[in-house]
Amino acid sequence: MKLSRLALTLTLAPGLSPLAADIELPPLVITRATDLEAPAPASIAVIDREQIEASAAGSLVDLLRGQAGLQVRDTMGDGNRAALSLRGFGENAINNTLVLVDGRRLNQPSLSGPDLNSVPLANIERIEIIRGAGTVLYGDQAVGGVVNIVTRTPDSNEAYVETSLGSHDLEAYRGHVQQQLGAGFSVYASGETRNADNYRDHNNSGYDNAFARLRYDHADGWLLYEYQSIDDEQLYPDSLSRAQRRIDRKQSLSSNWNDRKTQVQRFALEQGLSETWTLNFDYSDSDQDGTGDFYGWFDQGTRTETFSPRLTGSWDSALGHSELLLGHDHVQSDYQYESAFSETLARQTQRDWYGQLSQGLGSELTLTLGYRASEAEDRTQVDATSHTDREGSTSLGLSWQADTETRLFVKREDVLRWANVDENAFILPGVTFLKPQTGVSWESGVEWNDGSQLYQASLYRLDLQDELMYDAEIANPGGFGGKGANINLDKTRRQGLLLEGSRPLSERLSIDAQYSFTDSEYRDGSFEGNEVPWVARHSASAGLNYQWLEGLSSYVEAVYTGSRYAVSDEANSDGRVGGYTLLNAALKYDYRDFTAKLRVDNLTGKRYDAFVYRGGSVYAAPEETVVLSLGYRF
């Protein structure tokens, strides 16, 4: 979706890393925190706990930069209001890449992106990046791919405290404690407070995050209750003209700001019913309220309730190993937005039933079949209109373990994204509700893994109908200056290639690297044949990890982002924005219970723009950034 000033308000207001997949873990089919053992017909990367520690990353965005096929947009530089793009969605990425935490959606039913800082890195066990269509298993917004964050469940008592100091007056304190209470009960709690001036003027941020989990484990399963409270305050520096950036790239002429508070409650359980069947249940309630000034005052509130029961079966037969997953997703979102420009009061309810069968066909071949029946009901209370859409999505995949090291896969899947409440609130005259975005994804790949070296290659093609986007130039009497509206596009296509690998060079030195080619273009309409803006056709990264001595390790990486057209330049008339390469480095030292981490991003102080609009408005990115963290484990 293209970001007009109103859309940018809605997007921003609420709202290196070792590259190789974990070669010790087999491919998994993961959905809503349910693990299936059958090989997944998909391109999957896993970042495990060891890699998270080695990166010395301070945020999830730091950890994900340089991952194959993934492009990151971070206009504020705080790692929070960032967008993750899989499969070449550029500025349209917020609602086309799904982010989950233990199966719970971080995505919002609006243009507000997921809060990527809401899960402290110390709480994460691993991050699974499913590159490609995930509609059947994950539902709405899993078009380009899924980032599933799996949190830790320590099985012993531990406590950890850490402090960080860094560039731009960064000061952060964080910690966590895990305590076994006996009789199967345990408690886990974590907290973080972080304040920084950030790179630009008028860019100060304050972030407080408190999390608690009470868990009970028994012989046939577990149940838990979680509570999280987040207080997020941010000053927005806004964009600069190129002339202003040349004079002072840190300056700001903005008075925009936003305060946002979020409370999340979650109840989940897993219950073994027999040797074959397991029941999972997940309920969450998220309540988010924000206020601020962004080209005028605004108040915003979003409440989302999610109810997701699942039934998983696993058995062996003469044909081979079988796994069946049956589930239901019920997501209800109430949304209120009021500003000097407009008022929106809406409810969106999604009701989905889905199933997936993974069937072994002998010892080396696995067939995967899936189907999801989706329904979305939209109600706009300001003008008392309502609408219901229904769509069906299928998936078909094959995974072949050719030998002990080599796996091949092919997959075809329907994709789906519903228009969110912001999009339906700003449309052309005569349009009541936007059409759902649908399409077909094809992908295939090969993986070679001998337990020490890992190499992967994959190809994909994604064809979309009625892609949802904001057209800033379309005539609209109710728009800003008589222009601008959310629309359904004609046909669009993404296709590309991913290459990645990792291997040890010696007992102490290892290397990982990736290259991604992304071709994203309009196939019909006014911009037929043009590239989708803000998608780099070429991206690559390479990293070296060296173990100096016991407890002391370092990591150095180079991340390349190729040239691309500026945001909103669908006509491809402004010329490409130049590409750039960033060097990042990390040093980590463990001695007994003491940990020290030093991370330097943009080591050479490269000057580049994090975001560029058609016509020349830019968001200047930070130069070199240094963070030192000291921690102690009790």
Query: pLDDT tens digit string along 324-362?
Result: 999 999 999 999 999 887 888 999 999 999 999 999 998
The C-alpha atoms of residue 408 and residue 273 are separated, in whole angstroms, by: 34
pLDDT at 136 over 60: yes
Nearest residue to 352 via CA among 400, 387, 393:
393
Distances (CA, A) of 306 to 268, 344, 361, 632: 11, 22, 36, 37
The pLDDT score that the predictor gives to residue 479 is 80
The C-alpha atoms of residue 393 and residue 440 are separated, in whole angstroms, by: 9
Find tokens 């080591």 and name the residue: 603
The C-alpha atoms of residue 305 and residue 138 are separated, in whole angstroms, by: 16
The C-alpha atoms of residue 206 and residue 235 are separated, in whole angstroms, by: 9
Give the whole-number percent of the chain exceeding pLDDT 70: 93
CA angle 19, 24, 26 (to 5 degrees): 100
The C-alpha atoms of residue 373 and residue 368 are separated, in whole angstroms, by: 17
The pLDDT score that the predictor gives to residue 3 is 40
The pLDDT score that the predictor gives to residue 120 is 85
The pLDDT score that the predictor gives to residue 503 is 96
The pLDDT score that the predictor gives to residue 37 is 61
Name all domains of the chain by residue range, CATH numbers in brackets. 5-633 (2.40.170.20)
Report the phi/psi class of residue 64: left, alpha or beta, with left for phi > 0 and alpha for psi in -120 to 50.
Answer: alpha
Residue 634 exposed, middle or buried by CB count within 10 Å (0-12, 13-18, 19+): exposed
The pLDDT score that the predictor gives to residue 29 is 42
Find tokens 């550029």 and name the residue: 90
pLDDT, average across residues 299-325: 94
Find tokens 């087999």 and name the residue: 26
H or E segment to which residue 437 belongs = strand 437-449
Residue 327 exposed, middle or buried by CB count within 10 Å (0-12, 13-18, 19+): buried
In sequence order, the β-bridge partners of residue 582 are 559
pLDDT at 22 over 60: no
pLDDT, average across residues 188-197: 96
pLDDT tens figures, 593-627: 999 999 999 999 999 999 999 989 999 999 999 99
Which residues 6+ apart lie within 8 Å of 475 measured at CB? 482, 483
pLDDT at 76 over 80: no
Q: At 545, list the tokens.
A: 């990890």
* Neighbouring C-beta atoms of residue 253, cutoff 10 Å: 12
pLDDT tens figures, 537-590: 999 999 999 999 999 999 999 999 999 999 989 999 999 999 999 999 999 999
pTM: 0.91
Handedness of CA 290, 293, 299, 304 (dihedral sign): negative
pLDDT, average across residues 279-288: 96
HSE at residue 106, side-chain half, CA atoms within 13 A, is 27
Residue 505 exposed, middle or buried by CB count within 10 Å (0-12, 13-18, 19+): exposed
Is 515:485 a contact under the CB 8 Å cutoff? Answer: no
Is 385:379 a contact under the CB 8 Å cutoff? Answer: yes
The C-alpha atoms of residue 99 and residue 141 are separated, in whole angstroms, by: 9
Q: At 562, list the tokens.
A: 């190729």
Q: For residue 404, give the DSSP letter.
A: S
Q: What is the DSSP string of 344-397?
A: EEEEEEEEEEEEEEEEE-SSSEEEEEEEEEEEEEEEETTTTEEEEEEEEEEEEE
The pLDDT score that the predictor gives to residue 77 is 66
pLDDT, average across residues 477-489: 86
Give the distance between the most distant pair of CA atoms in the chain.
73
pLDDT tens figures, 495-526: 999 999 999 999 999 999 999 999 999 998 88
pLDDT tens figures, 37-65: 666 788 899 899 988 888 888 888 888 98
Q: What is the DSSP string of 122-161?
A: GGEEEEEEEES--HHHH-TT-SSEEEEEEE---SS-EEEE
pLDDT at 363 over 70: yes
The C-alpha atoms of residue 43 and residue 460 are separated, in whole angstroms, by: 10
Confidence grade of residue 465 (pLDDT, cut at 50, 70, 90): very high
pLDDT at 533 over 90: yes
pLDDT tens figures, 112-129: 888 888 888 888 999 999
Lowest mean pLDDT among 15-24, 135-144, 284-293: 15-24
